[in-house]
Amino acid sequence: MALFHLVFDLNHFGFIEANVRGDPLWTVQRTSIVTLFLLCAGAGQAVAGANAQPLARFWRRWAQVAGCALLVTLGSWLMFPASFISFGVLHGIAVMLLIVRFSAGWGGWRLPLAMLALVLPQLVQHPVFDTRWTNWVGLVTHLPITEDYVPVLPWLGMMWLGALAAEGLLRAHPALLSGALPRAFAPLAVLGRWSLSFYMLHQPVLIGLVMALAWALGRPV
């Protein structure tokens, strides 16, 4: 993710030429990154449920995600006023967390619902969902002009699948999700514990470094 955003920043400030919006080299990476985000978020809800996470703790974390989503909207509006992020990955996660958390008792019904969520945007589109106020649903007739877009459909399907897969692992092989990590993976564990902070801070830091380099080289910023 950080490398993807670094390429985006270098392209934006004219250091390299990379078609991050159209070249499959980059669009496939973006899709893979978002897929991993949502699978992990779903798995996290399964682990939280298995450990009887109090509802108050869930709401605290949800408020952090939702608050950061609003900050992303504000920051992107200041930098990209014509294509600011109105419903990006954090906005999507905030909405989908509510659905996944409160559908945890639906059991196996979530699997066909996840499959339906994944395919529904290919089957149903309508212009009513093309506005900034409604495109969060995902049934758009064309992709909106925005720097990030992760609608509920089809991505809710991925978060449900992450929750179902983790629940299956917790039943069959609980040590895979609860055992100690090898020492070599300890830095990744730290990033995992502070994933939201890393997500919020890495891009402003990268943009600042690239802008500083551009300024030092006399480039317009």
- String of DSSP letters for the chain: -HHHHHHHHHHHTTSS---TTT-HHHHHHHHHHHHHHHHHHHHHHHHHHHTT--HHHHHHHHHHHHHHHHHHHHHHHHH-TTS--SB-HHHHHHHHHHHHHHTGGGGGGHHHHHHHHHHHHHH---GGG-STTTTTSS--SS--SSS-B--HHHHHHHHHHHHHHHHHHHHH-THHHHSPPPGGGHHHHHHHHTHHHHHHHHHHHHHHHHHHHHHHTT---
| Positive/negative CA dihedral, 156, 159, 165, 171 | negative
Report which residue type is found at 24: P
pLDDT of residue 26: 93
| pLDDT given at position 193 | 87
The pLDDT value recorded for residue 190 is: 86
**What is the pLDDT, as a whole number, of residue 176?**
81
| pLDDT over threshold 90, residue 181 | no
pLDDT value at 122 more than 90: yes
CA end-to-end span of the chain: 23
Q: Rounded CA gap, 79 and 84, in Å?
A: 8
Identify which of 152, 40, 55 has the alpha carbon closest to the alpha carbon of residue 101: 55
Q: Which pair of tokens denotes residue 46?
A: 């399964």
What is the predicted pLDDT for the residue at 99?
98
Tokens of residue 34, six digits:
């978002």
Count of beta carbons in the 10 Å neighbourhood of residue 218 = 6
Contact between 160 and 117 under an 8 Å Cβ cutoff? The reply is yes
**Calculated CA dihedral for residues 87, 88, 90, 95, nearest 10 degrees:** 40
What is the pLDDT confidence band of residue 219, given thresholds at 50, 70 and 90?
confident
Say what the pLDDT of residue 175 is: 83
Taking only the tens place, the pLDDT of each residue in 23-50 is 999 999 999 999 999 999 999 999 999 9
Model confidence, pTM = 0.93
Q: What are phi and psi of 179, to 5 degrees?
A: -75, 170
Nearest to 197 by CA among 67, 46, 74, 86: 67
Q: Are 95 and 136 in contact (CB under 8 A)?
A: yes
Q: Confidence band (pLDDT; 50, 70, 90) for 164?
A: very high
Distances (CA, A) of 103 to 49, 93, 129, 159, 171: 11, 15, 25, 12, 19
